[in-house]
Structures are given as structure tokens and as C-alpha cells.
Amino acid sequence: MVKKFFKEHVTKQTLWDYLIISLGTFGLAYAVIAFWAPMDMVTGGISGLAIIIHAYSYDLIGFDIPIWLSNFLLNAPLLVLGYKIIPKAYFIRTLFASQFLVLALFLAEFLPIPETDILLSAVFGGVIAGIGLGFVFRAMATTGGTTLAADLLKRKFFKHLSVPKVLFGVDTVIVLIGFLVFGPINTMYAVIAIFVCSKVTDVIIEGMHFSKAAFIISKQSDIISQTILKDMNRGCTALDSHGMFTKEKRTLLLCVVSAKEITNLKQLVYNLDENAFVIVADVREVMGEGFKKAKDAL
């Protein structure tokens, strides 16, 4: 029975995903312990509340409450409630990520902490946390916390709002609490950390294989498409278009190339038709023939 279960549910991809989740949560934990907590930066989330509790627990109750313990205690009721509202496969990964984060926060306290100023802590903490969260999100999991809280609040009280908007509101409240507790300077650096973290997370999730999409309108579309195929070994897609000013039907070519090929593409087009109309747009990630394989992007 056990062997059959593992054969059906535990694959190489699953094991790889959990390894990525583990690395990601450890990166987030190290950013919190080594960079944000020492500088009293509250960047939102359950970890932000845990930093506040850790900073003032000794004065209030006579002993320090470690960040990992606060994280566990605050996450536990959210996970219990979340069990009923999110898909089971997603919940299992989130449960693993949230509990591994608790372990990682505990272990990170024994690692060396670099001596930095508050700006470097905001930037490098944001980079490391962003990479960690990107890994976790790419493996189809979350670390629980305010993400689950936002989902619960949306379903119960804010059905007309999206989860990201509710999440933004929840994290904003936590950052404002940090503002009241630690003051405006620490909060401003925390905002820098949040910005860096979000940008790095986006890069990890969406990929770093930047490309360019060219939309080409020309009377020489047939010749241009054939030349692109022959000289650049890139394909084109022809789309029917209709000029609203000229009332003429034209063929619109869509061609996706790597960033370093876009100059050659424009030169090729204008050598064939100097009156061609070309729009170049940024493409974050491309999957398929000639680019990244889909299985490597998921």
C-alpha cells in the first residue's frame, strides 16, 4: 500500500519541487533573521509581527519569544482554517513550506550574521527573500501567513475584492504597526526591502529569459516573413488586420526573437521595406520551439 502510494504520488518532479520549497523558505528565513530583524524592519507578513513580538516580549513578559515560535503560533490557526478552503495538493505544499519556514527560522539563528548598515540590510535582505519567495511560488506553494489570512478575509468579509488587494491591505496594516513601534526611519527602509523583494520575486517567477516581440505591418509581408525564416531561422505568425484610417486590409506579422536579435530583425525589415510599421514589445518569458522548453519553465 505504502509502495503504491509513493509510486503514484511521489515523482522526481514532486521531490524537486519540495527541494525548491525548502531552499526558498530557508532563504526567506535567513533574510528575516540576518538582515531585517536586527534592524527592526517590519516588511509585513507573519514574520513582521514576529519581529515586533521578539523586540518587545522581554520588556512585557520577562523573556524573549523567538521569531520562529511566534511564526508557528500565529500560523497555526490560519492553517487550520485554510485546510477547508484551499485545494488539498496546494494546502499540503503550503503546510510543508510554513512548517519548514519555522525550522529554517530556528536554524538561521545559529548562522553568522553579516555586519551591515540598515540600507544594505534592506537591499540584500530583499534580494535573498525575493529569491526565496520566488522559489516557493514557482513550486506552487506559499509560506502561509498573511496570504492565507487574505484568502480567509476575502471569502468571509471582502468577496468583492481580489486576494492580492486584501493581502496588500493586511500587510499594510502590519507595516503601519511597525511604523508605530519602530518609527518612520525603519519603516522607510522596510518599504525599500519590500520593493526589492517584490521585484526579485517577479523575476524568479516569470523568468529571466527576456525576449522581444515584433509586430510588423508591411506591403512586403510575404517577402519579410520568408527572409526572417531563411536568414534568422525564426518563424512568423500572420494575422489579418484592417487599417481604420486607410480602410485597407493588411497582413500583420508577429515574430518573437531574443533580445540580442531584435536589432538584426529591424534592420532586415527596413532593408526590404523602409516604410514598414514595426512595434517592438518586451516579452518576459517564451516557451516553445526555438526558446525554452515548457517542462523547464514550470
Burial class of residue 24, CB neighbours in 10 A (0-12, 13-18, 19+)? buried
Which pLDDT does position 35 carry in this prediction?
93
Torsion of CA 22, 26, 32, 33, to 10 degrees: 140
Q: Return the higher-pLDDT residue of 102 and 11.
A: 102
Which pLDDT does position 1 carry in this prediction?
46
pLDDT tens digits for range 114-123 = 888 899 999 9
> What is the widest separation between alpha-carbon atoms in the chain?
80
Residues of the chain with CATH 3.30.70.120: 211-297
**DSSP-assigned letter for residue 132:** H
User: Considering only the top CATH level, what class is 211-297?
Assistant: alpha beta
Q: What does the mean pLDDT of the chain come to? A: 82
Which pLDDT does position 6 carry in this prediction?
47
pLDDT tens digits for range 195-244 = 898 888 877 876 666 678 889 888 888 888 888 888 888 888 888 887 77
Least confident span in 134-138, 154-158, 167-171: 154-158
Q: What is the mean pLDDT of residues 171-177?
A: 88
Which pLDDT does position 296 carry in this prediction?
52
Which pLDDT does position 257 carry in this prediction?
85
Q: Is the predicted pLDDT of residue 98 greater than 80, yes or no?
A: yes
- Would you state the cell numbers that stand for residue 106, as one nine-digit string? 530556528
Sheet holding 277-283, edge to edge: 237-242, 249-258, 211-217, 277-283
DSSP 219-262: TTHHHHHHHIIIII----EEEEEE-TTT--EEEEEEEEEEGGGH
* Percent of the chain residues topping a pLDDT of 90: 18
Cα 150 to Cα 73, 84, 96, 215: the distances in Å are 18, 15, 19, 40
pLDDT tens digits for range 14-60 = 888 889 999 999 999 999 999 998 898 988 888 888 999 988 887 77
Which pLDDT does position 221 carry in this prediction?
86
CB 280 within 8 A of CB 212: yes
Q: What is the mean pLDDT of residues 111-133?
A: 89
* Percent of the chain residues topping a pLDDT of 70: 89
pLDDT tens digits for range 267-288 = 888 888 888 888 988 876 666 5
Residues 6+ apart with CB under 8 A from 217: 241, 250, 251, 252, 253, 276, 277, 278
CB 155 within 8 A of CB 30: no
Secondary structure (3-state) at 290: coil
pTM score: 0.71
CB 131 within 8 A of CB 208: no
